[in-house]
Structure 1
């Protein structure tokens, strides 16, 4: 049996549990997230000698904490910007093709899992080439109950490519549709 490990040991910040990320790190990660969205190229870059699988994996490791922080800060603009326009998204409500098809549904999910009083955690994240697998849980800060959880695979072609395929299993234990005031927080990119 393999030994258990902290999946964040070599990453810029640990999002496996609530708290623990200093404010200056959070601010730096948001600035980097904004920059990474701008690096995405119009054409999906080829994996080859000029853009290797190892480099893509390293870029995905750099990106991962920025994604976590963007969700914790309800930055829907960054989260949407991480996707390619030709995104393929498989989930129980899908499949969705393109970034407009899933937008209405996904903003409800973001609003619920990043609402005030709930903290997102990602206890497991695994990387291989352009593949990023993670498991998440949204925890109620007062009751400590799990509000929602999921298991996800992103296929992300590093900073130059962004995410072009996402497969997700989600389970919501409370609400499945967000009220207007929570949707507004995601649409405006409301901070924590």
Structure 2
């Protein structure tokens, strides 16, 4: 039988369950996420002898905890900054192209999964070169119900390239559109 592993070993923080990330680290990860989105280049950098798949995978592993913390804190400015302007986004409502087509819909998703009293967790995350696959779920802290879940693959050319392809299957069990009071909690660019 294959031995199960902690997907977060050797990563800066563990987002597989609520309560595993210390407060001081959360602030550090947000600051790091703000710096990472500034590194994206105008043109998608080539994979070559200097910017190898190994370097890209290392950058994706460094980026991952910043992404998780940005989602938990509703930092839509950071989350949008992770995407290339020519993003292709495949999901059941898509496909979306660019940053404008999915903006309204994704804002509702972020508001629901980052709402007070709900914690988003990513029990599984795997990296392969420029590919990052993860499964996520949002748990209501009062009722322990799963309010939403999904699985996602990002094709992310490290910090210099950002995400240019995202595929997602998501299921919302309780709400699909966020009320205005939750939308106001999402930080925008």
Please indicate, yes or no, whether the TM-score normalized by the shorter chain is above 0.5.
yes
Number of residue pairs matched?
A: 189
Unaligned runs of 5+ in 2: none
Secondary structure at the counterpart of residue 186 of structure 1: coil
Determine the structure 1 residue equivalent to 2:65: 65
- The CA distance in 2 between the partners of 1:167 and 1:188, in whole Å, is 22
- The CA distance in 2 between the partners of 1:187 and 1:181, in whole Å, is 13
Determine the structure 2 residue equivalent to 1:40: 40
- The CA distance in 2 between the partners of 1:45 and 1:21, in whole Å, is 32
Determine the structure 1 residue equivalent to 2:152: 152
1:1-192 superposed matches below 5 A: 1-187=1-187
CA-to-aligned-CA distance 1:124-168 (integer Å, 9 cap, x gap) = 000000000000000000111100000000000000000000000
- The CA distance in 2 between the partners of 1:150 and 1:18, in whole Å, is 17
CA-to-aligned-CA distance 1:68-107 (integer Å, 9 cap, x gap) = 0000010000000000000000000000000111000000
Secondary structure at the counterpart of residue 116 of structure 2: coil
TM-score, normalising length from structure 1?
Answer: 0.97
- The CA distance in 1 between the partners of 2:183 and 2:94, in whole Å, is 20
Secondary structure at the counterpart of residue 11 of structure 2: coil
Q: CA RMSD in A?
A: 0.9
- The CA distance in 2 between the partners of 1:85 and 1:176, in whole Å, is 26
TM-score, normalising length from structure 2?
Answer: 0.98
Unaligned runs of 5+ in 1: none
Aligned-pair CA distance for 1:188? 5.2
